[in-house]
Structure 1
């Protein structure tokens, strides 16, 4: 069924379509597909498309990323998953699912629209950040042949503190998730990451704080169990058959005290763990470490984000995707 595109909050060139999904226990559920389609002298129908998946307590607002892919001849789309950003409704618990497989419906609906617009033989890449990276690799593993490449921006492939922590904490989280799945866990977000990003506190970016609050949305037991289950699948090894590019900061800086050095490191995840897990994703995995990169490499300081984009260019050229 054709979707209705309407102007998006990001302004010129951006449109959004609401994708109706099967209701869950909280009621109606939607996903929101954003596309970047600026005016051109002649109508265009690209044969390649990129679908971006955001991270936890986040939504799509990285307009430069859309412009990057558009300049390279690819159609660009971004999916605000259920209960995030444009898809969040007043009756819903922000970001909450109790199984990451719930997002299969969101991605399937988005890919149906994308395929209808670029043609059945067009090539599709998933570009996932953080939790979106985890969702992307699980999709590619379970549904081979549906996408042609993966680009991962600081993908959340392991729990902070290593698999040992996951094994030790798993039973307690599972027990709480079984009986009180929406119980919020203690908040460990001091707001430092948004501080590195926001123009109001020395960063370069503006965003909708209703959709990307400080501190982040509460982490709930059922959701954390779902993420840990995803991490366990990655730890056992995936069999992704398409080329994968995993881009990760050169270093982490995780501390309870603020430091200006946090503007040039990943202060959310332990990057060495991510690098070790990334090579288990499939047979064609490239891992690149970005000096000075923050957790969202596309929002890092200019030298780091320029290298981020340059490495994507180099990789796509090598695999014939450029």
Structure 2
């Protein structure tokens, strides 16, 4: 399969997913057009819940950094609402990790648009006409960057209208739209951070200590969730300065955009970055600053609703049940308003 803009991909796997018989996995191999290495061939994985096979509207979920799709209950919520449900494991993440490339590596945030192209084209072939993107953390930046791409070339716009379903809405779960500092601090330190990561693009911060956030989540540390620690390690993966530079570039570019797509921002009530214990971290978002996040969203999205989830974790679906239920309730209410 190919697009008229130089992207080519091949279906190389189609099987029952590790989540069980309700889920199907399709794996695609494609050339990374952002890489200068002609030998570089990457994979992306599209996971599909088998419910509501005749529905023409669907959710497409995009995970965050050091993450992959494993939240079966999240998929089942949308199935119960009458939607189809798909999720991506982006190139270099989860099911798409390969031994010849570093986990979670990217040359540019833009390159994940290739994964979304593959997902949308496949969903169209499956009979989906209308899609709402749901994106968490860095996935929110990926989705927003994708939606902000110019489609000025007539042949590109015409092809996308025919080959892709209509993307009618965007739901952001604690999106990584700004660096994790309060607004006043962010204004002072954003420039020095940009200079540092630009001067040292091949450096990285070693991941050698279990994060407090991971201790709030995984059953190994007393949390509620039992996910694969090789794909979502408790220490995280090494943090590449190149990756951070590309994130900052994407954030700055997005801040200059004006997106009209109906958007729901869901965030925790408070940030708990820098707390000393898992219990303190559990009181809110232990990864990002919720005020800077909302400021950035309000700057870029012109049709924005905001849902504040008391007691919500950084990944709101992985929060304790009262906050998780509130998150799902806000999504359901917002989707109903869009119909």
> Structure 1 length as normaliser, TM-score?
0.91
Deviations 1:27-75 (A, max 9, x none): 320100000114x7xxx31110111110001100111110011111111
Structure-1 separation of matches of 2:280 and 2:21:
35
Runs of 4+ in 1 over 6 A off after TM superposition: none
Query: How do residues 18-57 of structure 1 correspond to structure 2 at under 5 angstroms?
Result: 18-23=27-32, 24=35, 25=37, 27-38=40-51, 44-57=53-66
User: Residue 249 of structure 1 corresponds to which residue in structure 2?
Assistant: 268
What SS does structure 1 have at the residue aligned with 2:61? strand
The answer to whether residue 280 in structure 2 is matched with residue 261 in structure 1 is yes
For residue 197 of structure 1, the aligned residue among 211, 217, 228 is: 217
Which of 128, 132, 136 is the equivalent residue of 1:125? 132
Report if aligned partners of 1:293, 1:300 keep a CA contact under 8 Å in 2: yes
CA contact (8 A) 1:33 1:77 kept: yes
Structural mapping, 1:232-243, within 5 Å:
232-236=252-256, 238-243=257-262
1:169 aligns with 2:178: no
Deviation at 1:190, TM superposition (A): 4.2
| Matches of 1:163 and 1:86, distance apart in 2 | 37
Q: Which residue of 2 aligns with 1:140?
A: 147
Answer yes or no: is the 8 Å Cα contact 1:98–1:225 preserved in 2: no
**Structure 2, gaps ≥5 residues long:** 2-9, 152-160
Whole-angstrom CA distance in 1 between matches of 2:70 and 2:150:
27
Distance change in 2, residues 1:149/1:83 (3 Å): same
Find the aligned partners of 1:152 and 1:48 in 2 and give their Cα distance.
18
Distance in 2 of aligned mates of 1:266 and 1:143 = 33
Q: How does 1:1-322 map to 2 (within 5 A)?
A: 1=1, 3=11, 4-23=13-32, 24=35, 25=37, 27-38=40-51, 44-119=53-128, 122-142=129-149, 147-161=167-181, 162-177=186-201, 180=202, 183-187=203-207, 190-236=210-256, 238-255=257-274, 257-320=276-339
The question of whether the paired residues in 2 share the 8 Å contact of 1:36 and 1:77 is answered with yes
The answer on whether the counterparts of 1:55 and 1:133 sit within 8 Å (CA) in structure 2 is yes
Maintained 8 Å contact 1:152/1:245:
yes
Cα distance between partner residues in 2 of 1:70 and 1:57: 26
What is the RMSD computed on CA atoms of the aligned residues? 1.8
